Structures are given as structure tokens and as C-alpha cells.
Amino acid sequence: MAAKPSSSSTSAYSEGSIRVLKGLEPVKQRPGMYTRTDNPLHILQEVVDNAADEALAGYGKKIKLTLHADHSVSVEDDGRGIPYGMHPEENAPVIELVFTRLHAGGKFDKGQGGAYSFSGGLHGVGVSVTNALSTRMEVTSYRDGNSARLVFAGGDVAEPLQVQPLASGERKRGTTVRVWPDAKYFETAQLPMGELVHLLRSKAVLMPGVTVTLVNEKTRETQTWQYKGGLRDYLQQNLHGEPAIPMFEGEGFADRHNDSFAEGEGAAWCVAFTEDGAAVRESYVNLIPTTAGGTHESGLRDGLFQAVKSFIELHSLLPKGVKLMPDDVFARASYVLNAKVLDPQFQGQIKERLNSRDAVRLVSGFVRPILELWLNQHVEWGKKLAELAIKAAQSRQKAGQKVEKRKGSGVAVLPGKLTDCESRDTAHNEVFLVEGDSAGGSAKMGRDKETQAVLPLRGKVLNTWEVDRDRLFANNEIHDISVAIGVDPHGPNDAPDLSGLRYGKVCILSDADVDGSHIQVLLLTLFFRHFPKLVEAGHIHVALPPLYRVDIPARAKKPAAKVYALDDNELAAILDKCAKDGVAREKCQVSRFKGLGEMNAEQLWDTTLNPDTRRLLPVQLLNLDFAGAEGVITKLMGKGEAAARRELMELHGDAVEVDI
């Protein structure tokens, strides 16, 4: 009689256990990696963005979104219509590939032969994600006198492509996409009407002359937007207070003789300075709303600051002892900014924040000279704006001095290795906890002495997850961190005195390798366990230094450049972009930083310390409550949790990239 197989052998880990996700499966398995899952608005935005890209390219004048009674949504445009012929290499109709392949679209080939010069991104996952997360999708393309219809269900083709000629005399063109979002992928199937209206209205604002319509079949309401006056009209309607000076409106775009930027790159903006009321701030990149801002907003801020600062210096308006900072000028600014960037790099797939470093120079370079000219042509208004900025600087400095007096007595002596900043304004001050003395030296030389302090740490910090609070100060590094930031260790239910906090941002800065990640984890453990109120209040941040530097040789009119990449994916994207620009990969010299100590002061400032170009992640609990986060960290950092860690590694080990 044959032996019965044991349960362990039936669940054996073998070649057949490895599963490769194909097509749109990854999206269905992990929808949160590709889109927002709180409601279906973002997957509909992908369809609206495609219609807007057609209008932006000059091929459409109308976009219509209809909310149907059966909970489906359709988006209709009068652009060129999606091509439906066979793809030369893929042996499938192009219209099918656009909706079923994660990296297929008309936005990859910029310049030569591509469908769009400027578009909302380079991920190419757009409408295929919409398709994957919908129970049904109907697509009709009107083009070349025909209508081509294709129906999908759950991301797969349900009814193959049917092409029919239009009725005689009918000259319809464009694309209509009707979507039935699948409720199981979203926390709620309800669309947030306020956000939807804002999205559609903003498209009309940014494309003067294009008509955008919202039709609701249930309520039988129709709303239409068309702004002939563009950004000024829109900002005027949304301002909460009267502008202190006339609105400052302008635009600037690179021409083909520009050495640094591609033809057509640039920005249009409208700025209003008000003395009271909440500020209205909206920014877009190639019509995509960037709700979390980004480098184009940093460029606007820098351009405004530099122009106002030079006006104040020219007319000797700054009182003695007052130091002007960018926020003093920017604090009362409301604006709408629309940037055009050729290959925009966004943070995350949902494109909330622009990360392209060059956008700071791009926007600032156009804003500054135009505002400088305007201020010097309207000196009275210039003086009024200077007065607003100086007043903001004086009240900021006054507040900083008050705090200093209150905490002056009985303060512990600051650690000798701390290189402090000059300012006492907690809102702007930052301290960098830097791994190693050599990196600390570069950081001290490269920092902004006014607002940035540096505390070098020697060796790895203690794992404090199971250390009693009253034993913490036996460790010198932890003692120095606590004294430097001005807050004592505390528990989640304590009410610590945060009035002694000396820095608004406490930034962990370690190498971009495995050891650096380990130091990050140990410091995050320290802050979560013993300084939880700092985490809760958003004071703890992690700086992301780059792993690679790419030296790109001069090409055509573009000068030689140094570009930094955070990881392997960014490195691949940079090399791809160079290849598109006609620079062979072997001509690009790639250097990998072994650590922060290898960077000189200027490189460290440019990549990691400069608020306009660095990447700084705030530490948040996201979708976990405190107890949930505590459970996860106990599993990862607890001494008696080896079995739980092993189970985690067995379950998720294949998702981890190992850097050896």
C-alpha cells in the first residue's frame, strides 16, 4: 500500500509555486499601487486626461462627461479618435492595446513621430488601469469616416472590434469611452462631486476656448464651463480677499534657440497678493492637477522671491536687522500655475507632485525677469508688495525671539558636535541627523547656515524598542539627539512639553544603501517608541539621497549635464531619455555613490539639502492607527519576534530587493 503523502509535501515550495502576473493582473491584485482606491474618481480622471491631451494638442474643442442613471460614466471628446488599425508589431488593433497593456500609449515618443509633444505623464498605465478596475467598458472611436467599437469586461475583450462606416453626410470624429467602475476595488462607489466639478472646471481654465460639460442624468442638471480669459478669470472668481496690488499675470516658453530647455517648455501663471483671507493655490503640469505641488511651485516661489528681493535691494527698502526669506514673500500669494514640461517625473503613479528637478529653474527663469520688469515699471505697487513681505519677515523674527526667551532658562548644554543654525524660527529650522563624520562634514559645508543644523551620529544607533525610557540617556547618541531637538522622551499617552522644540523638521539623512536603511529604521524606531508626539505632529522626515550620478555629455545645443538618480528605476528612465535625445548609453558615465561621504558639499546641497530640489518624505502612519503600527514594528524590531519575522520573510521575501 502506497504511503499517504504528508501535508508538508503537498504544499511543497517548487518551480510551480512561482506565479507570474500577466497583462492587467497586477492592477487587480494591487490596485493601490496604480491608482487611488478611496473612490473611482481617479480612474475616470485618466479618461478625462486623454480627452484633454487631444485638446491641448489642438485637435479638440469639446469635452463632455455624463453621469448615467446606471452608475456608469461616459467621457466624449471631438479629437482625432484613437487609431484602430493593426499595430505593426503586436498583431492586435491599436485601440485594444491602449486599454489592455500597462505600458502602451501615444505619449512615449516625444518629438519624432509621437502623438503628443506635451502630455500628463510617462507611466503609460493610464486607461488600462481604468479598464482593469471596471466591470465593463465600451470604447467607440470616430475617425476616417468610420466608427470603431470595442467592449471590455473586467479588463478583457468581451466584444471584438467592429468597424462600420458612418451614415452618409455624418462627419463625426473623436472618442467616446463609457465606464462601469467595479465597486469591489473601491472603499466607496460614490463619486465626490466637489472634486469632479473642480477637475472639469480646471480643464476649462487651462484651455481657454475649450468647452467642458458635465451632465447628470439622475438630477437632469447640466453644467458647462468655458473661460475665454483663462487663469485671471478663474483666480478672480476664487479669491477670498481683495488683492493688495493688481494681479501679476504672465507666461514664458522656451523657443528653439534655448540651450537648456526644449521648445515649448515653460509656464503660464497668475498671482494675486492679498492682505487677509485664505490663499488660493492651484498648480498643474500639462493639465494634470498637482495637488501636492512640486518643483514647478518651488520655481514660482523662487522667481517671486528673487524678483521682490532685488527690487527691495535696488530701492534700499529693507530695515536694519531684518532678513527676508522666501516664505515672507510667498505667505500672502494666491496663484494658478500651469507648467509645460516635456518629460514630467511625478512622485507616485497618481501624479500628485511634480519631481522634475529642472522645473525649478524652468519656472523661476521665466517668472523672475517678468516680475522684476513689472515692479520697476510700477514702483508704487512694488513698494506696497515690499511692505507686505517686510511686515511678514518682522512678525516671523519677533515670534522666533519670543520662543527663545521662554525656553532660555535651565536648558541643557547643547552637544558639542551639533553645528547649529543661525535662525531661531522653529517653523523654518531643520536639523539633519547625519550618518558618519565625513558626511557630517559635507553637510556642514553645503547646508544653508541660516536655517539648517547638522548633528553627525557615530556608528549605529541602539535598537530602543525594548529599552526603558529612564535608561535611554545611558546612550550618548540618543542623549545628544534629545537635547539637540529640545524635547524629552515620552509615551503615546503623555502630554510632553513641545514648546522647547528647536526645529520644525527633524530629518534622518543616511546613505542610500542597506546600512543606511538600517540606520533609518533604528532612528524611526527611536522616534516612534520614545518621541511619538513628534511623529504625530509631522516633525519627523526622511531625506532621500541619490544612489547614482549620471554625467551626460554635451549634445546639439544642450550643454553637458550632471543628473542624479534615486534608484535603479530612475537610472533606467534617465538613460532612456538620453537615448531618445540621441546620446548613446555608453557615452553617459554612471557613478554609484558608496555613501554620503563621497559627495562634496555642493552635490549634497543640490541633491539632498536644497528645499527646492531635494526629496524629503514626511513620516506618517497612513492607514494604520497607533496600535496597528505598534504591532507591525514589534514584529520587526522586538527581541523575541524572530519567528514572526521569519514568517514575514517567507510571505513577502520575494517582494524585497536585496542590495549586496
56, 205 Cβ separation under 8 angstroms: no
Query: What percentage of residues in the chain have a pLDDT greater than 70?
Result: 89
**pLDDT of 636:** 81
Task: List, for residues 70-84, the tens digit of each pLDDT value.
Answer: 999 999 999 999 999
263-322 per-position pLDDT tens digit: 889 999 999 999 888 889 999 988 778 888 999 999 999 999 999 999 999 999 999 889
Catalytic residue positions, numbered: 435, 511, 513, 515
Task: Quote the distance between the C-alpha of residue 144 and its chain's center.
Answer: 39
Residues 553-560: contacts with CB under 8 Å, at least 24 apart: 553/583, 553/587, 553/588, 555/581, 555/582, 555/583, 556/582, 557/257, 557/258, 557/259, 558/259, 558/260, 559/259, 559/260
Residue 325 banded pLDDT, cuts 50, 70, 90: very high
Block residue for cell numbers 521648445: 263
CB burial of 543-570 (b: ≥16 within 10 Å; e: otherwise) equals bbbbbbbbebeeeeebeeeebbbbeeeb
Q: What cell numbers appear for 89 in the block?
A: 508589431
Extract the annotated binding site for ATP.
13, 50, 77, 121-127, 351
User: What pLDDT sits at residue 13?
Assistant: 57
Q: Are the C-beta atoms of residues 141 and 84 closer than 8 Å to each other?
A: yes
pLDDT at residue 111, rounded to an integer: 44
Domain ranges for the chain: 25-225, 230-402
Spatial CB neighbours of 382, under 8 Å, sequence gap ≥ 6: 311, 315, 375, 376
More confident residue, 7 or 493: 493
Query: In this predicted structure, what is the pLDDT of residue 520?
Result: 92
Could you list the residues known to form a binding site, using ranges: 13, 50, 77, 121-127, 351
* Residues near 232 by beta carbon (within 8 Å), at least 6 away in sequence: 247, 249, 270
Distance CA 596, CA 512 (A): 8
Percent of the chain with pLDDT over 90: 43
CATH class, domain 25-225, is alpha beta
More confident residue, 277 or 86: 86
Per-residue pLDDT, 440: 86
Instruction: Look at domain 230-402 and name its CATH class.
Output: alpha beta
In the chain, the largest separation of any two C-alpha atoms, in whole Å, equals: 103
| Mean pLDDT value across the chain | 85
Nearest to 508 by CA among 543, 464, 461: 543
Q: What confidence score (pLDDT) does residue 108 get? A: 39
pLDDT band per the 50, 70, 90 thresholds, residue 593: confident
Helix (H) or strand (E) holding 147: strand 146-153
Q: What is the pLDDT of residue 336?
A: 94
The pLDDT, as a whole number, for residue 618 is 92
Closest C-alpha to 576, from 565, 236, 329: 565
pLDDT at 660 over 70: no
If one counts every other C-beta atom within 10 angstroms of the C-beta of residue 659, the result is 12
406 or 341, higher pLDDT: 341
* pLDDT of residue 16 exceeding 90: no
pLDDT at 10: 47
pLDDT at residue number 656: 56
* pLDDT, tens digit, 9 for 90 and up, residues 371-385: 999 999 999 999 999
| Cα-based distances in Å from 616 to 73, 311, 343, 349 | 38, 32, 22, 18
State residue 9's pLDDT score.
45
- 462-504 residue pLDDT tens: 899 888 888 888 888 898 899 999 999 998 888 888 888 999 9
